[in-house]
C-alpha cells in the first residue's frame, strides 16, 4: 500500500469516526452550516465543525466568537477555550488544571480564578441574569445546563 493510499484510508476512517461521534453526542447541537468538507492535500476530505450550541450559548469555533442569548460576548482566546471546556460537558466539574490544559496555559490557581471572574463579568454585561458558571468549592467550576 502506498503512502497516499494509507493517508486517504486514514482520512476516511477519521471522517467516519467524526460522523459517528457527532451522531452520538446529543449534548451539543450543531448548526446545519456547521458541517463542511474541506479539500486537504492529496485529495483527503476531513469533517470540520464550525459552530456549537448549548442552550442560549453559541460558540463559533472558526471565528472564536461567543454569543449569549443572541448578544455577542467579547472573550479573549483563553477565555473562549475555558468557556468551551466548561460548556462541552455541562454539570461536570472541571478543575483548574483541566481548564489550564484546555486553554494551553501554565499559570497559578489565582489566575484561573481571575479568568473565570472576567468571563462572568462579560456574560453579565450581555445578560444580567447570567448564572451558568458555578464554583464548586475546593474542586473547580462547572457549566449549568
- pLDDT per position as a tens digit, 84-119: 999 999 999 999 999 998 888 888 888 999 999 999
Which CATH entry fits the domain spanning 51-143: 3.40.190.10, 3.60.9.10, 1.10.3720.10, 1.10.10.10? 1.10.10.10
Burial of 119 (0-12, 13-18, 19+ CB in 10 A): buried
Burial of 36 (0-12, 13-18, 19+ CB in 10 A): exposed
**β-strand pairing of 57-60 with 51-54:** antiparallel
pLDDT of residue 69: 94
88 CB-side CA count, 13 A: 12
pLDDT exceeds cutoff 50 at 13: yes
Average of per-residue pLDDT across 123-136: 95
CA distance linking residue 123 with residue 130, whole number of Å: 6
Residue with the bigger pLDDT between 51 and 14: it is 51
Order of strands, sheet of 71-73, starting from the edge strand that comes earlier in the sequence = 51-54, 57-60, 65-68, 71-73
Binned at pLDDT 50, 70 and 90, residue 73 comes out as very high
What are the structural domain ranges in the chain? 3-49, 51-143
Q: How wide is the angle at C-alpha 80 spanned by C-alphas 89 and 52, nearest 5°?
A: 50
Cell of 2: 502506498
Residue with the bigger pLDDT between 119 and 12: it is 119
Amino acid at each position: 500500500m502506498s503512502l497516499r493510499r494509507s493517508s486517504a484510508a486514514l482520512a476516511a476512517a477519521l471522517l467516519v469516526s467524526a460522523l459517528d461521534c457527532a451522531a452520538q453526542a446529543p449534548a451539543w447541537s450543531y448548526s446545519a452550516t456547521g458541517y463542511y468538507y474541506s479539500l486537504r492535500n492529496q485529495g483527503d476530505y476531513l469533517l470540520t465543525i464550525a459552530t456549537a450550541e448549548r442552550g442560549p450559548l453559541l460558540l463559533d469555533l472558526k471565528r472564536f466568537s461567543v454569543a449569549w442569548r443572541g448578544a455577542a460576548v467579547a472573550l479573549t482566546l483563553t477565555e473562549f477555550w475555558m468557556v468551551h471546556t466548561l460548556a462541552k460537558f455541562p454539570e461536570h466539574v472541571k478543575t483548574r488544571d483541566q481548564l489550564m490544559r484546555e486553554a494551553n496555559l501554565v499559570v497559578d490557581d489565582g489566575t484561573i480564578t481571575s479568568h473565570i471572574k472576567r468571563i462572568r463579568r462579560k456574560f453579565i454585561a450581555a445578560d444580567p441574569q447570567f448564572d451558568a458558571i458555578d464554583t464548586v468549592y475546593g474542586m473547580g467550576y462547572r457549566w449549568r445546563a
